Structure 1
Amino acid sequence: MRSGNKYQSCKNIEGIFLPGTKKYLTLCEVKDLQIRMGVLVILLLTLSSELCIADWTENLALGGKTVQSSTYDSRGTAQRAVDGNRNSDYHQSSCTHTQFELNPWWRVDLKDVYSVSRVIITNRGDCCQERIIGAEIRIGNSLENNGNNNELVSVIKCTPYEATQTFEFKPTKGRYVNIVVPGSQKVLTLCEVEVFAENLAVGAEAVQSSTHDTGAAQNAIDGSRLSNHYFGSCTHTTWSKDPWWRLDLKQVHQVTSVIITNRGDCCPERLNGAQIRIGNSLENNGNNNELAATIKHIKAGATETFEFKPIKGRYVNIFLPGDGKILTLCEVEVFAGNLALGAKAVQSSTYNHLAGAEHAVDGSKESNFLLGSCTHTADNDPWWRVDLKEVRKVTRVSITNRGDCCEERIGGAQIRIGNSLENNGNNNELAATIKHIPAGATETFVFKPIRGRYVNIFLPGHEKYLTLCEVEVFAD
């Protein structure tokens, strides 16, 4: 191993071995490259200074290395929050617990940099649920102030009846995830923390207009942001007119952002003017689909995020118009948003002109009914339904409850998902039952994947009112 380098020349390698005790071996990518000028084989190890990209199903925090500002007793160690157990009774020894102190905090080291978009936290359930109010979730790469100065992605504002709460936010790059409660004489107790990075491009299929040397289309979704083309982790077309690269997500998603890593060893200007296009058509190889963004410039080896209004599509194209062009991409990451946004919604009845079914999918979490962004029915066994237009594998639904009054009305409502319109869709599979959502709060219900076109919120009983201020639907 050459000091300061990230590669090693070797041959006849059968394994990778790191001798010693208390060692961690992390490999984000391993590739063998045959060099044309000789018989040298380079084993490329993408180390933890590069960003690793996880399959969405993986809880990155599980079993990770954790620390906290202090420990109350032997039952409340930091590791309890990543043991895979959501048991919320502190006395069952599956929760953390700090001392009463100034600004208590907890931190997990993911061991690599990920683009984190979701954190799930299970609060203590046997007592003292209010202690977590005001806790901040922070993500980043710095250990300054024990990591508590990293980017703020969410704040826990209330204590839901259910102990487990999901926090979703724009993808944020970082190795460390911190939970910190600002203030004096505070206690932090966490019964489980789960961390997810959701990149739709992982495991998808890529093609491009042409291929030069080792620059295959699949290199842009191999999970490595390594930006030296000669290390085999970037795409490369031939010199050509209007080169393009296309990703097939295999199903339609509502894409909200694309992250692109540019070549770093030379030629960053070649990407200038490239277009990100998203849609369902393969006309002109997909390059006629809706324009989401145009790349003005990405610095050599840099990664840039392009965010835009949600665009529904199966195909994501990077298209570079012009003569004598080369398209090189070192990584492309794709993220989707809320499937229900702007979709067709209906309900069993409508209370008045302010209460239309479409208000639950208007993109606003405004919870004051009188401001016209909530639904409201007026009958027995009320229901609300959104049509996703196609069958999706739904894994979670977020619901915002009315905030100006009557929060208890939503108690007992059922989330049902499926493809049948029998009984207006209310006979479809039961995904979750809402016990309680605090006034004006948003709660996320996570469940095993259920395939379905229709998502219903159904409230059984006489003289019931169903009011929804926002419904968000996600399929992973």
Structure 2
Amino acid sequence: MKEALLLSMTCLLLLCLNDVCAEDCIWGSWSSCSVECGNGTRTRQISQAATMSGQKCTGPLTEICIVTSCLATNLSASLGATVNMSSVYSSVFVATKAIDGKPNDTGQILNGTDCAVTTYSLIPWLQVDLQKEYLVSRVRAILYDDKGRNVYVRVGNSLTNNGNDNHNCGKAPYDSSNDLNAIWRDVSCSPPVWGRYINLQRIVTNHVLHVCEIAFNYELEIAILDNNTNIEGTILAVVKNQDYSNPIDCGVSPDETNFNAFLQWKHNTTNVVPSSSVQNAGVYQVYENGVQRLYIKSASAFDSGVYTCQYTATDGSIVSKSFTLNVSVDCIWGSWSSCSVECGNGTRTRQISQAATMSGQKCTGPSTEICIVTSCMATNLGASLGATVTMSSVFSAVFVATKAIDGNPKDGTGQTLDSTDCAGSKFSFNPWLRVDLQKEYLVSRVRVILIGNRGENVYVRVGNSLTNNGNDNHNCGKAPYDSSNSYFAIWRDVSCRPPVWGRYINLQRIVTNHVLHVCEVSFNYG
């Protein structure tokens, strides 16, 4: 028995001496990237060392990693973002509460005072200025209660219509069972959209927008480079306008027996003149770790092509090593045109301003989309709407009431007013003029041209009642007065906030004994 065991152990030893027992080295998994966004590093460890004559582990313990999909939260503190709203409900509900990092995504019951709130209005909106462009792939919003219904997300670079004409990424989902919990409502922008401004716009006739927090995901246009940057012929993929700290290595050093002196870098056939300073340099070269290196600080500093490292050998010959660089450029859409109509449903178009190159992302999405102009302007009210007009009194046949709705004088001309183009009352107590629009409109602004000091203390009222000749309807406010411009055709605007439903627009001058002199009336409606 002992002899058999001894024989078995002897055989096993002989097998191991002949490499039967050898084991190769095994790498462990790579760690997560050291950063949540941008360029970082990741590491790995040997999980099993080589034994006997097994193959040893080769390669680095650390390598560069790039996180290209990033999340931005607490936008005011992290990005220096600012925020604006169409209106503010009160000092408790200021716009900055939408980007202050509270509440977090914890699912707790919301406290409405931690949120930004508009007044009751027509299509309220909130806009975040990110201070620079980002390639936005998703917008996240915490909305409060049913004030989060019909909220649309727009992203872009235009401030036309307060940014509400930018690209429409979609409608925020709404779930009434969770409307009081701090739960993110996500809207994806597919494909991602370049933009400095994020707008939330609630499509509603007369209500508030209640936004508790906004965050967003954005993409870095960075391609992962081949790690073997010191191998001749390497193809590198760099994206325009992104920094990348990995060098292009010439792969030569003064320690090489055939090396005499480094000469230069070339781009195709043109010499590259890199900066010797790292600060603010687009391209710069250094000698480090025994290698001549060309660093790319910003890919916008050069173009795709072949970059060649040249040096002289000891025999006097010139040695060249080349590397091909591909700079990908994404497609860029031009701005949307104006809507094809001034009021109601129409279309708008856009064109590609820069086509994609190399492996850059192609433009996707429509070249034409539906547009809705929700704020309309009515002028020349007698002809356009069939409106009629009445005054408390008429100064004479020259100053009849219909001259206030005949479209003369026109807006923007600034000409000196001829009082005979205007409607005028007699000298009287609190004279007034009323326009009957023939049906109800949701009036958001009334515009008037008044003449001389007869435009002081004029109040605008909108509503459906004829009590007290319509002068008891909703008071939108007092028309501004500037005596220096009192004889020029300049509109004086009075906003109705929130917009008011009404068939009648009244102008009433609060004065003891004087005239009301109205040259033209127009209005905006939704």
| TM-score over 0.5 (shorter chain) | no
TM-score by length of 2: 0.37
Q: Comparing both chains, which one has the higher relative contact order based on Cα–Cα distances under 8 Å and sequence gaps of 6 or more? A: 1
Rg: which structure is higher? 2
TM-score by length of 1: 0.40
